[in-house]
Amino acid sequence: MSDWTAGYVADIGYTYGYYSELNPQRIRLAFLHQGLHFPEVGAACELGFGQGLSTNFHAAASITEWHGTDFNPSQAGFAQELAAASGASAHLRDDAFADFAKRLDLPDFDFIALHGIWSWISDENRHVIVDFIRKKLKVGGVLYISYNTQPGWAAFAPMRHLMTEHAEVLGSEGRGIVSRIDGALDFAEKLIATNPLFSRANPLVGDRLKKMKGHNRHYLAHEYFNKDWHPMHFATMADWLESAKLQFACSAHYIDHIDSVNLTAAQQTFLAEVPDLMFRETVRDFMVNQQFRRDYWVKGARKMDAVQQTQALRSQRVLLTAHRPDISLKIAGTLGEADMNVAIYAPILDLLADHKVRTIEQLEKELEGTGIAYGQLLQAILLLAGAGHLSLVQDEAVINKARKQTDRLNAHLTHKACGNNDVSYLASPVTGGGYSINRIQQLFLLARQQGQKTPEAWARFTWDILRSQKQRIIKEGKTIESDDGNLRELTSQASAFAKKQIPILTALEII
């Protein structure tokens, strides 16, 4: 009997995550910052889409035709359910990569994306994927790929191997993968408690184990317990992609573009003296102890001239998607937490606090007299977008075409929130992607859509649903037992939602 899983964890579903880096809209700003031409994405593909949230959000919130595959039929079934709900152009299958690559009904793609899956598959499947990219990615097209990276995994890799061996050798197959994961974590903790030389030589291993215990077991199953698990050096990735004619473009993680929050002055000077771009990336990975890379590669990199770059940047539209008073003027980089310059960031955030769409050129004009230079404004846009406070905005014509699709998808998801908290996002036609909104907030929206007009009424609607399922609100780690206590807490949350989130959701055209 053949094993269709090929050693990949298939008896437990992947998490219902949304990953903004897979949004083709993000390519534009990253490429413009590097002075590179970027493609207009008419056809896109995600390989190994998991539960399919990212693919479906990006299909529903745009006019891009999406294709994709995930070999797990349960996950593909959920993804197809969302595609049917939105009515978007999303063609999602449960083919193995080798079978998907042989299909004759696929277009050539402007954008191909893989999130994480590269680290968890065999070399055989990697060869299939690279050949697929070589044949199906258009000239000028972009590959997004994220993967576990060396040297960041060097210390923990032996412990991961020990835990997977424990799960295989001593774990009880009949009790399922979750039980085996818990057993492996418990065994590893007891081993560390004996103070072995390995943990003394690698003191951060114990901290990582503690963090693992707090993670969703579905995530841990796919991240750590597959048969194939290969963190890869950047140079090795470059070797793999060379036959597909791909060149490294830049990181898809905007904060990586700002050296001052990631590298010391001495490191920046040292790195600037490395003449080869590719080797420079390898050296940088050692400086930051890179554990996970999120990168754009392009088939035929082309430089813009300075005039083209400036014009394109100034035409980029942006929108503040966080409540201004809640935004901390701190940013987390590799060096730790850094302070944003109040004289630069406060005026920009104050200007954007009305949640109106503006181009960078409009921002520049409205900030005249503040002493904020154009270069400082651009860096602020990158950092605020990288921190999730600010989103890039699509053209009006695209927004208008996508709105009906996102409305249908969001209606489907808010109704599903009555029964579970699996999906904590809704789709925005304005940004072309997803926006984080938890189950309780989705139920507030559902109440609002059904004619309930006040936060008190939204809270009552939500409490009726939770109480019927014998569920209670947990606040600060403690369960609120009384009906009145739950209703008071929900009313407080609904009032905050009305003040903080409704204006943003309106600007995003989610409502």
Q: Which residues of 252-289 are buried (b: 16+ CB within 10 A; e: fewer)?
A: bbbbbbbbebbbeeebeeeeeeeeeeeeebbebbebbe
The 10s digit of each residue's pLDDT in 121-154 is 999 999 999 999 999 999 999 999 999 999 988 8
Tell me which of 228-237, 357-366, 412-421, 444-453 is least confident: 228-237
CB atoms within 10 A of CB 215: 14
CB-CB contact of 15 with 219 (8 Å): yes
Please determine, looking at this structure, whether the domain spanning 314-393 carries the CATH number 1.10.3470: no
Tell me which of 219-223, 323-327, 405-409, 479-483 is least confident: 219-223
- Residue range 379-391: average pLDDT? 96
pLDDT at 412 over 90: yes
Query: H helices of 61-149, where?
Result: 73-86, 97-101, 123-136
Residue % of the chain over a pLDDT of 70: 96
Predicted TM-score (pTM) of this structure: 0.89
What is the pLDDT at residue 212? 82
The 10s digit of each residue's pLDDT in 95-127 is 999 999 999 999 999 999 999 899 889 999 999
Strands (E), 159-310: 247-251, 292-298
Strand order across the 90-93 sheet: 90-93, 65-69, 43-47, 109-115, 137-148, 292-298, 247-251
The 10s digit of each residue's pLDDT in 245-266 is 999 999 999 999 999 999 999 9
SS3 category, 18: coil
**Tokens 């010391």 belong to which residue?**
264
- Identify the burial level of 190 via C-beta atoms within 10 angstroms of its C-beta, where 0-12 means exposed, 13-18 middle and 19 or more buried: exposed
What is the pLDDT at residue 391? 97
| Residue-averaged pLDDT of the chain | 92
Residue type for position 252: A
326 — pLDDT class (breaks 50, 70, 90): very high
CATH class given for the domain over 20-150+231-298: alpha beta
Q: Rounded CA gap, 340 and 98, in Å?
A: 48
What is the pLDDT at residue 7? 46
Residue type for position 22: L
37 versus 228: the higher-pLDDT residue is 37
The 10s digit of each residue's pLDDT in 297-310 is 999 999 999 999 99
The 10s digit of each residue's pLDDT in 22-58 is 999 999 999 999 999 999 999 999 999 999 999 999 9
The 10s digit of each residue's pLDDT in 154-181 is 888 888 888 888 877 776 655 667 788 8
What is the pLDDT at residue 175? 63
The 10s digit of each residue's pLDDT in 79-95 is 999 999 999 999 999 99
Q: What is the 3-state secondary structure (H, E, C) of 340-385?
A: CCHHHHHHHHHHHCCCCCEEHHHHHHHCCCCCCCHHHHHHHHHHHH
**Domain limits, the chain:** 20-150+231-298, 157-224, 314-393, 403-428+438-507
What is the pLDDT at residue 209? 86
- Residue range 413-441: average pLDDT? 96
What is the pLDDT at residue 4? 39
Q: Under 8 Å CB-to-CB from 93, ≥6 apart: which residues?
A: 68, 69, 76, 100
371 versus 178: the higher-pLDDT residue is 371
Q: Rounded CA gap, 494 and 180, in Å?
A: 40
Residue % of the chain over a pLDDT of 90: 78
- Residue range 441-464: average pLDDT? 96
What is the pLDDT at residue 348? 97
The full DSSP string for 381-408 is: HHHHHHTTSEEEE--HHHHHHHHHHHHH
